[in-house]
Amino acid sequence: MKISVIGTGYVGLVTGTCLAETGNEVICVDIDKEKIEKIEKMRNGVVPIYEPHLDVLFDRNIRSNRLKFTTSLEEGLEH
């Protein structure tokens, strides 16, 4: 299943990562200018928040191409 998660704050990022871990293709979208730099880091596997073991799930799903990030709402909606 393809899922778009709007917002890459604590709730959106954890939700998106967990949905990807269950086998879904997830794209997380955020247009907040302060988070744009974080999106670039997230694409490279850097987790900007702390949640126990989230880093392991995050890395596994980015490498598996099930978890992606964008700043384009249009791209998220097309997904």
Ranges assigned E (strand) in 1-79 = 2-6, 25-29, 67-70
- Residue 50, pLDDT score: 86
**pTM to 2 decimals?**
0.86
| Full pLDDT tens readout for the chain, 79 residues | 999 999 988 899 999 999 999 999 999 998 886 776 777 787 787 888 888 999 999 999 999 999 999 889 999 999 8
The domain spans of the chain are 2-73
- 69 and 42 Cβ atoms separated by less than 8 Å: yes
Distance (Å, whole) CA 62 – CA 33: 22
> Taking the domain 2-73, which CATH number applies?
3.40.50.720
Q: Which residues in 19-32 are b (16+ Cβ under 10 Å) and which e? A: bbbeeebbbbbbee
